[in-house]
Chain A
Amino acid sequence: EAGVTQSPTHLIKTRGQQATLRCSPISGHTSVYWYQQALGLGLQFLLWYDEGEERNRGNFPPRFSGRQFPNYSSELNVNALELEDSALYLCASTISGRAYYNEQFFGPGTRLTVL
């Protein structure tokens, strides 16, 4: 069974540009979470999508946005990139987003570098 996949593996942008990161969940999983792992800041929750809708978002500015498609894949968009957006962005999926006890399965991440 294929795991969570993310693309691209690496992304280099300059300040002010926009970045688009993509995630495909495990087959059968309807829920997708996005986390930011920045150096020295640990893992910070960004966004949660379940069955096509945004269910919750973390403490990030509106220039971080995304969507979930009918096939449950997801896209994270970061507008007006700033240097501090440089981080590893991790996507995770679960079999049912509404259940508290489900573990999340993570993809390998996209390393975003903002110059």
Chain B
Amino acid sequence: AQSVAQPEDQVNVAEGNPLTVKCTYSVSGNPYLFWYVQYPNRGLQFLLKYITGDNLVKGSYGFEAEFNKSQTSFHLKKPSALVSDSALYFCAVRVPSGSARQLTFGSGTQLTVLP
């Protein structure tokens, strides 16, 4: 079975500072990893994904994520946080085997960027 853990329910960071939202995964096989963001009363917006290749993935709105196979992690990062980045962030995983295509999501991390 595949699972995703987001160990921090809440992350606070000052505007202009770098931010990191942590994600670790547990799968059998090679994972496909995704990050989504959810603003209040909205659906999820896709930020970026790791499929294969370069471990550093760049995505929307200046976000990037680093895939680390040895640590089974896929942390989301941004060099300089904006107040508008405040939202709920979800990490998700899918394993390329079997008939399932749905994503398995972490529990989410609420990011608050303080002005």
Contacts and interface: CB of A to CB of B under 8 A. Distances in A.
A57 B32 CA distance: 20
B96 interface: yes
Given A100-B32, A100-B94, A109-B43, A42 B102 contact: no
Given A90-B44, A108-B43, A109-B43, A103 B102 contact: no
Given A100-B32, A101-B96, A106-B36, A55 B43 contact: no
Interface string A88-107: 00101010011111011111
Given A42-B107, A42-B108, A106-B36, A100 B42 contact: no
Interface in B68-115: 90, 94-96, 99-108
Nearest to B99: A56
B61 to A, nearest CB: 15
A94 B99 CA distance: 16
A48 interface: yes
Given A100-B94, A101-B96, A103-B49, A45 B103 contact: yes
Interface in A5-48: 6, 31, 33, 35, 42-43, 45, 48
Contacts of A98: 101
5 contacts: A35-B102, A48-B101, A100-B96, A106-B45, A109-B42
Interface of A: 4, 6, 31, 33, 35, 42-43, 45, 48, 50, 55-56, 58, 90, 92, 94, 97-101, 103-109, 111
